[in-house]
Amino acid sequence: MRLWLLCAVILLPGASPADTVVALRTIRAHEVIGADALSLDPGQVEGAYADVTEVIGQEARVALYPGRPILFGHVGPPAAVERNQVVELVFEQAGLRITSEGRALGRAAVGERLRVMNLSSRTTLFGTVQPDGSIRVSQ
């Protein structure tokens, strides 16, 4: 009885396998992806997005080519800080707040760790990108 039910569910009219998100045109690395650049392809590819809304507004980490599936590692949140950008460094601990200017040594999105150089001391530090674009430096 269970086998019959499984076959009926699979063969129902209108039932289709999962779709895969593919690029409609070449999307360059670091480009924010819009709805006009994506399509759904029938069939499921392991490790690829199946929902277009999960990809729209994300940034391409690598070049994406037309007709190819968009894999999980190919996109991510848009960068809030660009390489060589001058940023505010913030250190806070026990009521003490120290700010300084720094230079980003890479690109990063909000919440990601980033290597920065303090411009006054030339020391290289690590910090986390904040929503306002500043870098919260820890010990």
CATH code of the domain containing 33 = 3.90.1210.10
For β-strands 135-137 and 124-129, DSSP reports them as: antiparallel
Q: Which is more confident, 126 or 1?
A: 126
**Tens digit of each residue's pLDDT (9 = 90 or more) over 19-72:** 899 999 999 999 999 999 999 999 889 999 999 999 999 999 999 999 999 999
Q: Quote the number of domains for the chain.
A: 2
Q: What is the pLDDT of residues 105-129, one digit of tens each?
A: 999 999 999 999 999 999 999 999 9
- Using the 3D structure, point to which of 48, 76, 104 is the last residue of a domain: 76
Q: What is the pLDDT of residue 17?
A: 60
Residue 90 lies in a domain: yes
28 plus 63 within the same structural domain: yes
DSSP string, 59-115: EESS-B-BTSB-BGGGEEPPPSB-TT-EEEEEEEETTEEEEEEEEESS-B-TT-EEE
Instruction: Tell me which residue range forms the domain holding 41.
Output: 17-76
Residue 82 scores a pLDDT above 70: yes
**Is the model's pLDDT at 11 over the cut of 60?**
no
Q: If pLDDT is split at 50, 70 and 90, which confidence band does 7 have?
A: very low
Residues 69 and 28 in one domain: yes
* Radius of gyration for the chain, computed over Cα atoms and rounded to the nearest angstrom: 22
pLDDT band, very low/low/confident/very high, at 15 (cuts 50, 70, 90): very low
Tens digits of per-residue pLDDT, 25-40?
999 999 999 999 999 9
Is 139's pLDDT higher than 60?
A: yes
Burial of 105 (0-12, 13-18, 19+ CB in 10 A): middle
d(CA 129, CA 81): 8
pTM for the full predicted model: 0.70
**Residues 72, 90: one domain?**
no
d(CA 6, CA 24): 35
Residue 43 lies in a domain: yes
